[in-house]
Amino acid sequence: MEQQRVLGGRYLLKDKVGSGGMATVYRAQDQVLDRTVAVKIMLPQYAGDATFAARFKQEAQAAAGLQSPYIVGVYDWGKDGDTYYIVMEYLRGTDLKSGIRSHGALDPKKVAQIGSQICAALSVAHKHEIVHRDIKPQNIMVQPDGNIKVMDFGIARAKNSHLTQDNNVLGTAHYVSPEQTRGQELGPTSDIYSLGVVMYECATGRVPFDGDDAISVALKQVNEMPVPPSQINSSVDPSLERIILRCMEKDPANRFQSAEELRGVLNTYLSGRTVDVPEPTRVIGAAAGMGATETRVMNDSTQMMARPAAAQTTARPASRNAARGGAPSSTNGFEPVDNGMGKGKIAAIVVGVIAVIAFAVFAASQFLGGGETVDMPSLIGWEQEAAVDNLRSLGITNVEITQEFNDEQDEGKVCDQTPDGGRSVHTTDKVTLVISKGEKPAETTTVPKLVGRTQEAAEAALKQANLKGKAVTEANDADKGEVFEQSIAEGEEVEVDTVVEYKVSAGPDEQAVPGVLGMTKAKASNELTNAGFKVAYAEDYSDEYDKGTVMAQSHTGTAAPDTEITITISKGKKPGNDDDDSSDNSGSSSQTGGSVSVPSLSGMTKAQAESALKNAGFVPSFSYADGTNEGIHPDYVISWSPTGSAKTGDTINVVVAYGEPSE
């Protein structure tokens, strides 16, 4: 199923939320950032068309560069197999077209506010030389807070694009400009015309031109003049009407020339100041506008017509005879004249009283400084300039700006506001916006000297500097318990509560010294050197060890690496000894039944002790201690008996530390 697809190995399609002429939009889950997004997928029938594919790709590239609170954000785009897609901000709300259908004509101030925000979006696009080309209510999303976002740059095109020569009219006919209908080159004023049509529809509840098909509507865009909005909705005031009709001038030169210019005028209108916009160059009268179907072709003449009275849409006008003082026609449906207190006069008096009361209430509210009541938007996360512009578009000009550090909002964005969004306020009320200065800089401190101190002193120094310590004990030549290394150098500036690791000496690094008694000089030297020790030599006579074997060693047990171990090499029996044997054999150790010294087994492994005892003429017998003895490595000799001397052939009982026997 389409809904189960994952595009680009990242975007899991959920459900379809909309479709258009070129693409379908899905709600999707970004599985990398774990957020809901909207994914726009080109329809299959267009995916193989090079022109449409280029247009789709151009949409993504153009829209991705547009940054504004009033433009739908584009996060990513790509191609998955034959599928082109764009990943966009997922919006909650409804499109402006649906809103107009549900609620009808909007309040004039709301119309101007929407127009101002669309102008802000268009201004960003036009600065990038991008013309939207499809401004219509369906592409304007109204968010829950009442603000809008412009969507779908699907047929937007960069000014210098090679696609500019495509004369197809791709916009919706109800909103296209006359020059777009003719297939002419478009500029920013084309979008302003379409925006004028959107504001017209917002103000009246209906489009200015309609017909049975797109061609007839497009022709009306070129040839007919719109009915003034006030003739459809009497609440549309002259200033807003002039703004809308100037946007919809047939000649682009007579329109507002930039979105920024139009936005400034709309904001002036919203603030209640006088709007300096001339009457439209051509307007159509009420008779032709209210249901007339004839086409009025433009000619070279210029007409200036006064704005019709608003009351003409809500009350039937008196006949021309009545206006001149004559009797009204009996066929016009009006009541005959009554010089007494008839229903008409009573109604007029009631209306007059209500008007006086309304005026008094309005005057009092203005005198007391209340101003117009508007809904305060939520501006948290907005850029400062955009937030202030939004408030001004509502008529709120008393805006106070403060700043503070904030960890949730980026620098320059609103992090707090007073009053809160969603509340009703008067346009004269003061609004305070708190702008984030970014994350609060971390407090720093200086790392103290730890090397040379005891662990206790090091911890005290770190605590005083508002730092945390982590001690590691290692063998070192430094005195036991002394700090000999720290991870961050003394004097460096770091954040408070930074963890500083330091090493405490456990004393010299000692290791087992091999037992080499009974070994030849060469073998003993190799054993000690390979274990990391230095070797020195001495010689002496021995009645116990054969000539050329080690009869004694200076260190047994453990010692620090590079310790010098002195081994004494036997020169054999001392000359003149009664038991001397001129041969190089074992001497007395080989005399069965004779009493000889039991060799010292200290520092020997089991294998070395076994060799030494056999060489001395004894029978070794080994047993393991129950567990290890502190300071003695597994398989090393712990004790032996008898000691001193024994008869050759006797059994020597040897106890070694527990462990696997040496081979």
Residue with the larger pLDDT of the pair 538 and 334: 538
CB-count exposure of residue 565 (10 Å: 0-12, 13-18, 19+): buried
What pLDDT is stored for residue 214 in this prediction? 85
Residue with the larger pLDDT of the pair 360 and 621: 621
> CB of 384 within 8 A of CB of 433?
yes
For 38-57, write each residue's pLDDT tens digit: 998 888 777 777 777 777 67
CB-count exposure of residue 400 (10 Å: 0-12, 13-18, 19+): exposed
Residue 183 confidence class, pLDDT cut points 50, 70, 90: confident
Q: How far is CA 361 from CA 355, 357, 364, 365, 428, in A?
A: 10, 6, 5, 6, 16
**Above 80 in pLDDT, residue 414?**
yes
Strands ordered across the beta sheet of 23-30: 6-7, 11-19, 23-30, 35-42, 83-89, 74-80
Q: Which amino acid is at 613?
A: L
Strands 619-624 and 651-656: parallel
For 511-540, write each residue's pLDDT tens digit: 788 889 999 999 999 999 988 889 999 999
Strands ordered across the beta sheet of 483-486: 468-474, 499-505, 483-486
What are the tokens at 575? 């000359």
For 149-158, write each residue's pLDDT tens digit: 998 764 444 3
Share of the chain above pLDDT 90, in %: 38
pLDDT, the chain, mean? 78
CA distance 195 to 49: 31
Give the range among 81-85, 451-455, 495-499 with minimum mean pLDDT: 81-85
For 102-121, write each residue's pLDDT tens digit: 889 999 999 999 999 999 99
CA distance 414 to 437: 10
What pLDDT is stored for residue 630 in this prediction? 54
Q: Is 87 helix (H, G, I), strand (E, B) or coil?
A: strand
What pLDDT is stored for residue 66 in this prediction? 85
CA distance 96 to 206: 13
Residue 6 confidence class, pLDDT cut points 50, 70, 90: very high
Give the range among 345-359, 416-430, 568-582 with minimum mean pLDDT: 345-359
**Above 70 in pLDDT, residue 329?**
no
Highest average pLDDT, of 308-312, 442-446, 473-477, 554-558, comes from 442-446
Mean pLDDT of 151-174: 50
Helices (H), 164-311: 178-181, 188-204, 214-223, 238-247, 259-270, 286-289
CA distance 377 to 397: 14
What pLDDT is stored for residue 259 in this prediction? 96
**Above 70 in pLDDT, residue 366?**
no
Residues annotated as catalytic are 134
Mean pLDDT of 228-235: 95
If we measure between CA atoms, which residue out of 215, 164, 216, 163 comes closest to residue 187?
A: 164
Q: Is 192 helix (H, G, I), strand (E, B) or coil?
A: helix
Residue 659 confidence class, pLDDT cut points 50, 70, 90: low
Residue 418's Cα: distance from chain center in Å?
Answer: 26
CB-count exposure of residue 78 (10 Å: 0-12, 13-18, 19+): middle
DSSP one-letter string for 307-363? PPPGGGGTSPPPPHHHHTTSPPPTTS-PPPP-SSS-HHHHHHHHHHHHHHHHHHHHH
How does DSSP classify residue 23? Answer: E
For 336-355, write each residue's pLDDT tens digit: 333 344 444 434 433 443 34
**Above 80 in pLDDT, residue 14?**
yes
Strands ordered across the beta sheet of 651-656: 619-624, 651-656, 637-641
**Above 60 in pLDDT, residue 611?**
yes
CA distance 449 to 465: 11
> CB of 384 within 8 A of CB of 435?
yes
What pLDDT is stored for residue 100 in this prediction? 93
Residue 483 confidence class, pLDDT cut points 50, 70, 90: very high
CB-count exposure of residue 466 (10 Å: 0-12, 13-18, 19+): middle
What pLDDT is stored for residue 153 in this prediction? 65
Q: Output the CA angle 371-377-383, nearest 5 degrees.
A: 115
Half-sphere exposure for 571 (CA within 13 Å, toward CB): 7
**Above 90 in pLDDT, residue 226?**
yes
Mean pLDDT of 404-425: 86
**Above 50 in pLDDT, residue 258?**
yes
Q: Which residues of 314-341 are buried (b: 16+ CB within 10 A; e: fewer)?
A: eeeeebeeeeeeeebeeeeeeeeeeeee
The C-alpha R_g of the chain, in whole angstroms, comes to 50
Residue with the larger pLDDT of the pair 170 and 62: 62
What pLDDT is stored for residue 577 in this prediction? 58
Domains of the chain: 2-89 (3.30.200.20), 94-247+275-285 (1.10.510.10), 373-436 (3.30.10.20), 444-505 (3.30.10.20), 587-663 (3.30.10.20)
CA distance 535 to 553: 10
Residues in the chain: 663
What pLDDT is stored for residue 157 in this prediction? 47
CA distance 612 to 608: 6
**Above 90 in pLDDT, residue 333?**
no
What pLDDT is stored for residue 13 in this prediction? 93
Please tell me whether 437 is known to bind a ligand: no
Stated as kind and residue range, the H or E segment containing 522 is helix 521-530
For 194-225, write each residue's pLDDT tens digit: 999 999 999 999 999 998 888 889 899 999 99
Taking the CB of residue 239, how many other CB atoms lie within 10 A of it?
Answer: 18
What pLDDT is stored for residue 421 in this prediction? 79
Share of the chain above pLDDT 70, in %: 77
Residue 627 confidence class, pLDDT cut points 50, 70, 90: low
Q: Is 61 helix (H, G, I), strand (E, B) or coil?
A: helix
Q: Which residues of 83-98 are buried (b: 16+ CB within 10 A; e: fewer)?
A: ebbbbbbbbebebbbe
CA distance 601 to 463: 52
CA distance 97 to 141: 9
Mean pLDDT of 247-260: 96
